[in-house]
Amino acid sequence: MKTESAVFSNLSGIRRSRKISQDEIVRTEKLASGTNLPLQILPNLEDLDFISWARSNREWIQSLLMRHGGLLFRNFRITSPSEFEKFVTAVSGDPLVYKEQTSPRSRVHGNIYTSTEYPPEHVIFLHNENSYSSTWPLKIMFFCVVAPREGGETPIADVRRVLARIPKAIRERFEEKGWMLVRNFGTGYGLPWQKAFQTEDKEEVDAHCAANGIQAEWLCGDRLRIRQRRAALHKHPVTGEEVWFNHATFFHISTLPPEIRAGLQAELPEEDLPYNTYYGDGIAIEPQVLDTLREVYLQETIKFPWQQRDLLLLDNMLVAHGRSSVRGLREIVVGMGEPYSGDQDVAQ
């Protein structure tokens, strides 16, 4: 870590720069014994201009991210969603608009959003952002505006290690078949299609679906059903590593909390559920397979308590994320960067 960088200091009102080694500017530490996920980065200089430093050291940050999958920036001078947006831009380019929405979020500043607005008592299972889409962000970032009093962690898991734990027979079937997401809009559950696609125009929805490998079916009563058939495994575009990258477990009805699952199944037939997943040929995924996949994720899960002003940077194809149940106020905002269009569709 001997690369040099210009650091701008504001001492006695005089702005000046000096050359110092990277080791003097920041230090890296393990957050917990036995793992480097996330690798913790802390400042050694009180007057460090965090955004300028990040912009000047984008390649160094990227190299650490490719190795570890996640970086936790702690104790840096960053205090607001607007500054967080500048960090996202510095390391990843302009923040992305949240498209093909599957969960309620609110725009906070520019393209910075609230984390999923889901009842605090419920857990959000591990997933890779937008893996159901034809285009997804390579980077996803979280900034802690208000740390929760109890719980509310953002669990993470290295999906390279998740893949290594999946039994061969399960892996091979998903490699061959891929997976399918079926969504229903207009049933009174989940987001309306207008919110999910950010438009009131059905023709725009049809055009988006046609361009992104989504089968759209308009039903009576302004209802919409879509099917997305995607690959379950991918190769990372930078590292070339194979990763388990899909929402097959996350969106399956059996992953929901029992009381929510029972309520939906009592009200709706399976084909009308707001979300459900299948093998890519439409065949049901066996319960024992889903149990195995959930257990594999949990075996690789890492959790840490949020501190105010923490900033977590994840490679979205290397690391999955979720949310623990929470008590008290929790304010985490999210930014995404670097859209990547992979060959997600499997052979018909």
Closest among 119, 128, 100 to 191, alpha carbons compared: 100
Q: Regarding beta strands 319-323 and 124-127, do their DSSP bridges make them parallel or antiparallel, or are they unpaired?
A: antiparallel
Residue 11 lies in a domain: yes
Co-location of 308 and 160 in the same domain? yes
Co-location of 41 and 110 in the same domain? no
How high is the pLDDT of residue 13?
36
Rounded Cα gap, residues 156 and 319, in angstroms = 6
Rounded Cα gap, residues 192 and 183, in angstroms = 11
Token digits for 41? 């980065």
How many whole angstroms from its chain centre is CA 184?
22
Q: Out of 77, 107, 127, pick the residue that ends a domain.
A: 77
CA end-to-end distance (rounded Å), the chain? 48
Q: Out of 77, 108, 141, pick the residue that ends a domain.
A: 77
Q: How many domains does the chain have?
A: 2
Residue 83 lies in a domain: no
How high is the pLDDT of residue 33?
86
- What residue has token string 């949990």? 298
How high is the pLDDT of residue 29?
96
Token digits for 86? 């500048």
CATH, residue 171 = 3.60.130.10
- Residue-wise burial string across 261-298, b where 16 or more C-beta atoms lie within 10 A, e elsewhere: eeebeeebeeebbbbbbbbbeeeebeeebbebbbebbe
Rounded Cα gap, residues 179 and 173, in angstroms = 10
Co-location of 203 and 324 in the same domain? yes
Co-location of 1 and 149 in the same domain? no
Token digits for 34? 């036995």
Rounded Cα gap, residues 70 and 141, in angstroms = 10
Tens of pLDDT along the chain (348 residues)? 444 444 434 433 334 455 677 888 999 999 988 899 999 999 999 899 999 999 999 999 999 999 999 999 999 999 999 999 999 999 999 998 877 666 667 888 889 998 877 788 999 999 999 999 999 999 999 999 999 999 999 999 999 999 999 999 999 999 999 999 999 999 988 889 998 998 999 999 999 999 999 999 999 999 999 999 999 999 999 999 999 999 999 999 999 999 999 999 999 999 999 999 999 999 999 999 999 999 999 999 999 999 999 999 999 999 999 999 999 999 999 999 999 997 544 434
How high is the pLDDT of residue 283?
98
**For residue 295, what are the domain limits?**
93-348
How high is the pLDDT of residue 4?
40
Co-location of 208 and 257 in the same domain? yes
Residue 1 lies in a domain: yes
Asked whether 49 and 7 are in contact (CB, 8 A), the reply is yes
Residue 134 lies in a domain: yes
Co-location of 201 and 282 in the same domain? yes
Co-location of 109 and 213 in the same domain? yes
